Amino acid sequence: MSTSTRGYRVTSILARVAALALIAAATTQPAGAWNAHSLLTRAALAAVPDLEATVTTEELTDFLEAEADKLALVLAEIEAKARDEFAAYVAPPAGLTFNPAARGTALRESFLRAIRVNPRVPLGLYRQPAPGETVGSRATLETTQYSLIGAELAGNPMEALNPGEGVSALDVVATASDEPDYGLDVGLYANNEGPLAALYGFGEQPFGNPALSYGSQAPFHMAFPHEDPIIAIAAPFSTQSQAGYREIQYATLARFAFKSGHPYWGWRFAGWALHYAQDLGQPYHARMIPGQGTLETIMLNAFGSEEDLNGALILLSNRHLVVETYAGDALKDPDNRSRWSFEAALAGTGAGSVQAPAYRTGWLYDVVATGAYEDGRRLDELVAESFPARYVNDPGFDFGLAQENGSDAWEPYGSTLDDAARARLDAALAERYRSIGAETRAFAAYLSDPLAIAGERKAPFDRRGAAYIVVLVLLAGGIVLLIAAGARARRRRAGLT
């Protein structure tokens, strides 16, 4: 957490947590919720037969020019669907309407502005080799050739591809599942720096620190749809995530690309969509404070000092960073003994495999985020128990800031855990990965089948909201009875006199 982040103040712990929980994911680890989306996707989809197929690479402008007229209709349908299904929908300004008559770079610019992403992201042709794969004779790209953010990528360097070159569908979707962390969602709010600030109609950034160069992507990559209703009411801006909007956009574009005979862009858009599902499968992206309940948060707000509040946020950031680094390092390192259990969990093999429900309306929040939210408290407890106390239980030590300024180079490698702690933590992470792997396969099956029909929404029932209503009704009823009893007593006394 940077010094500028510390200077960012809001008026309550609810507001501060909603803001800084997202900053924690973006300050030192802008690569994403699990720090290695391509590895998650490869492991989850490696055994899917359709992904063994070879597809032909295609420049974005070639795809757009071939389907421009139909795309205009598809983009209009996306906005209509998002308006109907997505509660936090923000309509785009009229001037962003896609222009199918444009050509070349003008058409590309029109399309990227119509879907409201940062058009400066190169979006060229490339693949990220699998872990352990020998890099071939292709040119290796510099980070600036595919990303606006100097993010450390998982695994091997990015290899350039040529238009018309054959590449496996698995390579395409795995590589693409990292891409939303390369700047597509950066600088899109009115209070962000850059030319897009007043263009896209999203208004001011609802949470996160707009002063951070990549902090503006946070409201697209996190969502808190299952927080206690009291917190949602107290901090309504915490409900303004746009992750659900991206799900609708990229899922629709992927299915259109497959239907219209462009499998390369079908799998690439599918990878973009999968990114957001994997993000919301991370408990620290789906729950504001995994280590606290509503009452604890309210008590901290009511009675906590400034030092207490800052400490709670530092612990949140530290634990988030530690568990992501631990899990990401395991997947990247072929000699890490935790890697095999994580990959097996993602692939759905071995004991404890799960089956995700088929894709349905509201799936990202109702299915994916629900599971991550429910697992958050236990995972946070294990993180706090497993690693050295300095990094997970000391509110006076800011691990992210220490890494940023080079004063502490410790990495939470598995060697710091004893066997019992490792076993408990790995079991919890494997359980989360089993769900993410199953959800990735269920979502990919829907995305790649343009004839599939999404099921009707089945939003989880929130007993807390119902309980609060019952309590309020009982309280109101009690007050009415007390008033009535008082009125009767007054009438009796009046009758006696």
List, for residues 191-233, the tens digit of each pLDDT value: 888 888 889 999 999 877 676 667 788 899 999 999 988 888 8
Contact 110, 99 (CB under 8 A): yes
**In whole angstroms, what is the distance from residue 313 CA to residue 9 CA?**
12
Q: What is the CA radius of gyration of the chain?
A: 24
Within 8 A by CB and 6+ apart from 433, the residues are 40, 342, 345, 346
User: In this predicted structure, what is the pLDDT of residue 211?
Assistant: 65
**In whole angstroms, what is the distance from residue 458 CA to residue 95 CA?**
36
User: In this predicted structure, what is the pLDDT of residue 314?
Assistant: 87
Contact 290, 284 (CB under 8 A): yes
In this prediction, the residues of the chain whose per-residue pLDDT falls under 50 are 1-11, 18-31
How many CA atoms does the CB half-sphere of 396 hold within 13 Å?
0
List, for residues 98-134, the tens digit of each pLDDT value: 999 999 999 999 999 999 999 999 999 999 988 778 7
Q: 0.85 cut: is pTM over it?
A: yes
Domain ranges of the chain: 3-447, 464-497
Contact 226, 204 (CB under 8 A): no
- Identify which of 358, 214, 262 has the alpha carbon closest to the alpha carbon of residue 56: 262
- Identify which of 229, 178, 209, 245 has the alpha carbon closest to the alpha carbon of residue 469: 229
**In whole angstroms, what is the distance from residue 222 CA to residue 167 CA?**
31
**In whole angstroms, what is the distance from residue 208 CA to residue 185 CA?**
13
Contact 218, 185 (CB under 8 A): no
How many CA atoms does the CB half-sphere of 179 hold within 13 Å?
30
**In whole angstroms, what is the distance from residue 224 CA to residue 386 CA?**
26
**In whole angstroms, what is the distance from residue 108 CA to residue 346 CA?**
35
Within 8 A by CB and 6+ apart from 52, the residues are 168, 169, 170
Q: What percent of the chain has pLDDT over 90?
A: 57
CA distances from 88 to 52, 85, 164, 245 (A): 38, 9, 39, 8
User: In this predicted structure, what is the pLDDT of residue 197?
Assistant: 80
List, for residues 354-407, the tens digit of each pLDDT value: 889 999 999 999 999 999 999 999 999 999 999 999 999 999 998 888 887 888
User: In this predicted structure, what is the pLDDT of residue 495?
Assistant: 73
User: In this predicted structure, what is the pLDDT of residue 473?
Assistant: 81
